[in-house]
Amino acid sequence: MKTDRPVNLALYTIHFPVTAVASITHRITGVILMVGIGFGLWLLDLALSSEAGYLRASEVMQGGLAKFILWGLLASVIYHVCAGLKHLLLDMHIADSLEGGRIATWAMLVISAVLVVLAGVWVW
């Protein structure tokens, strides 16, 4: 056994790098969208079915919970697409260095956050 192992780790200084947080969020929004497609299809099915169905769908979307779900889904789409576009840049070896990746991830997070807020303004 090595005797020069580090001891007494300062756990409060250990955290995920921003790129890891962005990656897990990409996965989480993907799972949200997997479920959210069901909500989207249901709403579209209702709204397209008939004039009465359209009015019913409009009525449903006046509700606070429905608006929150819609905003959550829009936010997930926005984030998932932004993170995906960053991924395509990485595939082209753009911003795939450690420092470049961090900067690109922060830029992606800022752009997503702005768009998510704008989506919220649009929904409410």
Binding mask 98-117 for other proteins (x = CB under 8 A): --------------------
DSSP character string of 34-67? HHHHHHHHHHHHHHHH-HHHHHHHHHHTTSHHHH
Instruction: Based on the shown chain and the rule CB under 8 A, indicate whether residue 84 belongs to the binding site for other proteins.
Output: yes
Instruction: Based on the shown chain and the rule CB under 8 A, indicate whether residue 91 belongs to the binding site for other proteins.
Output: yes
d(CA 78, CA 33): 11
Nearest Cα neighbor of 60 from 31, 116, 49 is: 49
Instruction: Provide the binding-site residues for other proteins, judged by CB under 8 A.
Output: 27, 30-31, 33-34, 37-38, 41, 44-45, 47-48, 50-51, 53-55, 74, 77, 81, 84-85, 87-88, 91, 122
